[in-house]
Structures are given as structure tokens and as C-alpha cells.
């Protein structure tokens, strides 16, 4: 009898982010996205949040040495093909992640500079913005700021049009990021346009703007979907295009869920649950 063929290795991605006890954003959204896109998800927990669809009531940060221990445990055993970074609320946590990723350099890194939850709660200390800018931006293959986050990273006003979005993307490249996806979800108009700004030019990703209050976890979900595409070996622009289609479908289907009394989650399994 011939031995059974060895199954192909499933792509592995790791999310380094905070937990959302409500299940719609953070680590939970990232792992749901990885699963929906056929990627095995590992995780490094940077903080616990007491959170639901109406807001964040408490944050408990993981000690930096425990963040380091999680990073080492994951990378020492698993063949990680992509990294997604989300909520890092304090400078010490940012430095721990940067040091760990420099030690385990290799897979592409997608950095979502999470600063404010959909409910309006602050998730990043003001003192940590400069640390994020100097420690993690130069390590990132892609950063995915929304319009307020891009403005905060550059200490300037929020972009009001695509020309300003492109200019801010180019300014973030100058800070060391290899590519920038400036997300236009906070803008206005019939389309929500994201701009992928790289040293080689700009790619435009439009999608119809969906009228829904259920947008909790959109940034986490988009960045983890990009990381999933990179884990599958897609080039960056193709990974962004696939992720944009996925998040657009998840937002469009969000009202099919009835979760919570505030800003509900997007539908991570919209293509699988019928």
C-alpha cells in the first residue's frame, strides 16, 4: 500500500493585535478573516479590551515581555508567511513588537495603525504615535491608515480629496514605509476610494459606499485580508484588490447580522453562510 500523499501546507499568518471581547474587531476579526480566506491564523495578544458594539470600557495591556514571549513562541515553530499588526496602545508594546519582528525578519508585514475604535474610543496613547512612526513604519511592507490616522501620523490636517490622499501617502513613504494604502472610508461621496501609494506609482481601488451603521472592525478586517493574500503568495496589488473585494462584500452583508445595539460587525463569512 502506498503511503498517503502529504497534504500541501496551509498558509499561516499571524496577527499581533488587541482582543475585542465583543468579537467584531481586533484579534477576533483577524482570525475570522484568515479562516474565511483559507489561511491558518496564529495570534500574539497585545491587549485585552472590555468592548462591545457601543464602545470600549477598559483596556488591559499585556506586559512587553509577554508580547515578546508570544512572538518567539509563534515564529520558533510555525512557518509564518505574513504578519498583520493592529492595536498597540503603548510605546513599550510597540518597541517589543519591533524588536521581535527584527529578530524574526522574513515574512511581509501589514501595519494597521489603529488609533480610534468605530465607537470613538481612543486605542492609542498620544505618546505612542511617535514610537509607532519611528519603530514600526520602517519595518512595514504596507501600512493601511484611514484618513484620520494618516493625518495623525503626519501631524497635519485630514485629506479632503484624492490628490491630498496621494500626497499624504507619499509623505508616509518618506518616513520609511514601503507602501501605503490610504483608506477613504471616512470621506464622502458615492464611492469609497482607497489609494495604494508605492514608489512605483498609485493604484486606485474604488467601491460603492454602503449605507450601514454596521462597520465595526472594517480596518482590522481589510488589513488582515491583505495579509491573507500575501500569505497565499499574491503580489501586493493583487492582495489589496482581493481584500478590497472581500471587505466590500462583508460590509454589504453586515445588515444580515443582528449583533449588538451599536455599531455592529461586518459579516466575515458572507461568502460562506449563504
| Catalytic choice (41, 169, 187, 219) | 219
| Catalytic choice (32, 86, 184, 220) | 220
SS3 category, 193: strand
**Grid cell digits, residue 77:** 515553530
In the residue annotation, 217 being an active-site residue is answered as yes
Between CA 264 and CA 254 the distance in angstroms is: 8
* Residue whose C-alpha is closest to residue 129's, from 97, 102, 94: 94
Q: What are phi and psi of 125, to 5 degrees?
A: -65, 145
In the residue annotation, 38 being an active-site residue is answered as no
Q: What are phi and psi of 56, to 5 degrees?
A: -110, 125
In the residue annotation, 33 being an active-site residue is answered as no
In the residue annotation, 22 being an active-site residue is answered as no
| Catalytic choice (185, 218, 221, 244) | 218
In the residue annotation, 187 being an active-site residue is answered as no
β-sheet bridge partners, residue 265: 216
51-134-128-222 Cα dihedral, nearest 10 degrees: -20
SS3 category, 157: coil
* Residue whose C-alpha is closest to residue 196's, from 226, 152, 157: 226
Q: Look-up: residue for cell 464611492?
A: 191
| Catalytic choice (33, 49, 215, 221) | 215
In the residue annotation, 57 being an active-site residue is answered as no
| Catalytic choice (46, 68, 86, 183) | 183
| Catalytic choice (100, 169, 217, 264) | 217
Question: Is there a contact between 42 and 14 (Cβ–Cβ < 8 Å)?
Answer: yes
Catalytic residues: 183, 215, 217-220
Amino acid at each position: 500500500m502506498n503511503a498517503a500523499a502529504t497534504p500541501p501546507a496551509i498558509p499561516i499568518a499571524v496577527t499581533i493585535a488587541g482582543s475585542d471581547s465583543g468579537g467584531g474587531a481586533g484579534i477576533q476579526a483577524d482570525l475570522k478573516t484568515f479562516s474565511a480566506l483559507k489561511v491558518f491564523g496564529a495570534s500574539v495578544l497585545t491587549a485585552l479590551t472590555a468592548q462591545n458594539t457601543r464602545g470600549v470600557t477598559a483596556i488591559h495591556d499585556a506586559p512587553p515581555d509577554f508580547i515578546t514571549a508570544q512572538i518567539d513562541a509563534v515564529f520558533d515553530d510555525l512557518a509564518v508567511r505574513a504578519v498583520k499588526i493592529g492595536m498597540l496602545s503603548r510605546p513599550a508594546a510597540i518597541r517589543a513588537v519591533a524588536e521581535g519582528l527584527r529578530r524574526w525578519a522574513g515574512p511581509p508585514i501589514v501595519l494597521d495603525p489603529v488609533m480610534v475604535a468605530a465607537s470613538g474610543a481612543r486605542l492609542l496613547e498620544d505618546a505612542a504615535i511617535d514610537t509607532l512612526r519611528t519603530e514600526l513604519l520602517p519595518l512595514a511592507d504596507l501600512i493601511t491608515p484611514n484618513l484620520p490616522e494618516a493625518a495623525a501620523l503626519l501631524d497635519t490636517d485630514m485629506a479632503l480629496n484624492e490628490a491630498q490622499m496621494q500626497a499624504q501617502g507619499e509623505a508616509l513613504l518618506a518616513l520609511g514605509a514601503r507602501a501605503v494604502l490610504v483608506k477613504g472610508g471616512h470621506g464622502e461621496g458615492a464611492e469609497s476610494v482607497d489609494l495604494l501609494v508605492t514608489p512605483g506609482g498609485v493604484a486606485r481601488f474604488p467601491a460603492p459606499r454602503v449605507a450601514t451603521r454596521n462597520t465595526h472592525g472594517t480596518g482590522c478586517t481589510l488589513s488582515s485580508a491583505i495579509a491573507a493574500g500575501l500569505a497565499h503568495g499574491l503580489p501586493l496589488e493583487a492582495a489589496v484588490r482581493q481584500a478590497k473585494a472581500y471587505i466590500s462584500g462583508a460590509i454589504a452583508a453586515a445588515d444580515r447580522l443582528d449583533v449588538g445595539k451599536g455599531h455592529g460587525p461586518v459579516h466575515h463569512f458572507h461568502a460562506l453562510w449563504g
